[in-house]
Amino acid sequence: MIQLRGYQNEIVTRAGEALRVHDSVLIQMPTGTGKTVVASAITQRANSKSNKVWFACHRDFLMAQTAGTFKSFSIDYGFIAATKVANAQAENQIAAIASLKRRIEKLPVPDLVFIDEAHHCSAAGWTFCIEHWLGHGAKIVGLSATPRRLDGKGLGEHFGSMVTSPPVSWFIEHGYLADYRLFAPTAIDMTGVHSRAGDFVKSELEEKFDKPSITGDIIANWREHADSMTSIGFAVSVEHSKHLTAAFNAAGIKAEHLDGKTPSKERSEAAMRLATGETKILWNVDLFGEGYDLSAQAGTEVTVEAVVLARPTKSEALYLQQVGRALRPKADGSKAIILDHASNCVQQGHGLPDDEREWSLEGRAGNKKNSEQTIPIRQCPKCFRVHKPAPVCVGCGFVYPQRSREIEEREGTLEEVKRAELQVKKDKRREVGMARNLEELKALGKQRGYHPAWAYKIFKSRGSGSI
């Protein structure tokens, strides 16, 4: 039987109070702080009142992990999924959204439904099921570390109230999550990479980032900052992930690739090799981004010590899910290492993992984009450490000049990020974004002393047609 932590008990209580007032409640908790544990405790309370509970997931491995947590709470359950053996008599069901969409009107209506990774619930299948359940008197509880859609909009159309946990900084301070060091380039070349459906086009990212020179930089920086550490890497595509895996192996670093088509047995074996240290880094695309429990997959404790981000993303949620893989506490209290080769923290504006974020059912204030957020960080020009604003680098003791200055850019090198200098860069990007046409870009370039070709390059990268 799992013993709930103090903050988990508090969330269970607050969620119960919210459900007495609202038909649908969203619970926000950072990656690694026990969302499924909280859901299991709420399920027990519901069962004590003879209420039937369903737990809906969008991936098979999330169903298996939920089943494992239910077992630890001695909760009886069955499955509603084509890939699982059914137990229709169980008062609790772990269900696949694909099966629910097809059978929703033929199935009984439970008293309470949990929706895992609830930031996906605006998808058509989820919306249909939610409306059906609410229309027939069920209560809904959503679970998410990042309760925001890719486009920045909130989830207020589905949930009437939200229960939020303490921020990531609180969990780090109290030892529930690991502290970290984050390294990133000051800038990456995104010329020719466009956006579609709220994020970068994968095929264009692959063409840009799946290159031997970039792969070599990733290997070199891993050796410098995360050598021998248990690591997870996030790639642009399956092929990119396979190429990175092959390159690491060729360099004498044991690496493996996993994706959604990898059989469960092979996933478990790979996770076990990572746990024992036989494998140093597992490369993937999105497999480890949401809810994936390597320890459950391996059948033993797996502590991820480092993550490597080789994929730029406009999604703050995806970024936080990925870096969160390394924030589970280490037995020796050591810091996690985050190698952000994609400059998601700096160039994409997502900031540091423990920045204060205001989660709201309405989404970002005014639905502003990431580029308009103001999350200041500093990046040391000497040791390249990324940290919160301070007059002195927390890594090497470098004393920052009082006057703001640009960081020297060194090709292939990751720099530890600092908040104040990051803010200067954000302000400059915002100015570029506000330039509405070629003439305004020319004027801005002239003001900054740039080469005349700069304005044409930016204008062309927007896909604004001929010049």
Closest listed residue to residue 339, CA positions, set 219, 459, 168: 219
Answer yes or no: do 365 and 412 share one domain. yes
In this predicted model, what pLDDT tens digit does every residue of 313-356 receive, in sequence order?
Answer: 998 888 999 999 999 999 899 999 999 999 999 888 899 999 98
Take residue 358 and report the two structure tokens written for it.
């205001």
Report residue 368's pLDDT band, with 50, 70 and 90 as the boundaries.
very low
Backbone angles phi, psi at 282, to 5 degrees: -105, 125
pLDDT, position 58: 81
User: Could you tell me if residue 102 is inside a domain?
Assistant: yes
Rounded (5°) CA angle 379-384-388 = 35
What is the spatial distance between Cα 429 and Cα 131, in angstroms, rounded to a whole number?
41
Of the listed ranges 78-87, 300-309, 370-379, the one predicted with least confidence? 370-379
DSSP 335-366: PEEEEETT-TTTTT----TTS-----TTBSGG
Last residue of a domain, one of 109, 134, 165: 165
71, amino acid identity: K
Query: Is residue 241 within 8 Å of 248, Cβ to Cβ?
Result: no
Q: Average pLDDT, stretch 275-300?
A: 84
Please check the confidence at residue 437 and state whether its pLDDT lies above 90. Answer: no
- Cβ neighbors of 463 (< 8 A, separation 6 or more) are 194
User: Could you tell me if residue 174 is inside a domain?
Assistant: no
Answer yes or no: do 443 and 419 share one domain. no
Query: For position 61, which CATH number holds?
Result: 3.40.50.300
User: Could you tell me if residue 173 is inside a domain?
Assistant: no
User: Could you tell me if residue 172 is inside a domain?
Assistant: no
What is the spatial distance between Cα 199 and Cα 78, in angstroms, rounded to a whole number?
37
- Comparing 336 with 191, the larger pLDDT belongs to 336
User: Could you tell me if residue 1 is inside a domain?
Assistant: no
Answer yes or no: do 263 and 154 share one domain. no
Answer yes or no: do 249 and 306 share one domain. yes
In this predicted model, what pLDDT tens digit does every residue of 231-285 receive, in sequence order?
Answer: 999 999 999 999 999 999 999 999 999 998 898 899 899 999 999 999 999 999 9
Answer yes or no: do 417 and 277 share one domain. yes
For the whole model, what pTM was predicted? Answer: 0.80
Query: Is residue 162 within 8 Å of 127, Cβ to Cβ?
Result: no
Answer yes or no: do 319 and 414 share one domain. yes
In this predicted model, what pLDDT tens digit does every residue of 45-62 receive, in sequence order?
Answer: 999 999 999 999 987 778
Q: Average pLDDT, stretch 402-428?
A: 57
Reduced to 3 states, what is the DSSP secondary structure of residue 133? helix
- Comparing 119 with 222, the larger pLDDT belongs to 222
334, amino acid identity: S
Last residue of a domain, one of 100, 135, 165: 165
Query: Is residue 281 within 8 Å of 162, Cβ to Cβ?
Result: no
Q: How many domains does the chain have?
A: 3
Report residue 382's pLDDT band, with 50, 70 and 90 as the boundaries.
confident
pLDDT, position 462: 60
In this predicted model, what pLDDT tens digit does every residue of 130-189 receive, in sequence order?
Answer: 999 999 999 999 999 988 877 667 788 899 999 999 999 999 999 999 999 999 987 788
- Give the structural domain span for 156: 6-165
Roughly what angle, to the nearest 10 degrees, separates helices 264-276 and 60-72?
60
Beta bridge partners of 95: 56, 80
Answer yes or no: do 116 and 139 share one domain. yes
Closest listed residue to residue 178, CA positions, set 323, 376, 381, 55: 323
Answer yes or no: do 415 and 279 share one domain. yes
pLDDT, position 371: 37
Last residue of a domain, one of 115, 130, 165: 165
Please check the confidence at residue 210 and state whether its pLDDT lies above 60. Answer: yes
Answer yes or no: do 444 and 402 share one domain. no
Answer yes or no: do 254 and 400 share one domain. yes
User: Could you tell me if residue 293 is inside a domain?
Assistant: yes
Query: Is residue 61 within 8 Å of 45, Cβ to Cβ?
Result: no
Neighbouring CB atoms inside 10 A of 204's CB total 16
User: Could you tell me if residue 302 is inside a domain?
Assistant: yes
Answer yes or no: do 413 and 440 share one domain. no
User: Could you tell me if residue 466 is inside a domain?
Assistant: no
Please check the confidence at residue 425 and state whether its pLDDT lies above 90. Answer: no
pLDDT, position 264: 85
Please check the confidence at residue 86 and state whether its pLDDT lies above 90. Answer: no
Answer yes or no: do 390 and 251 share one domain. yes
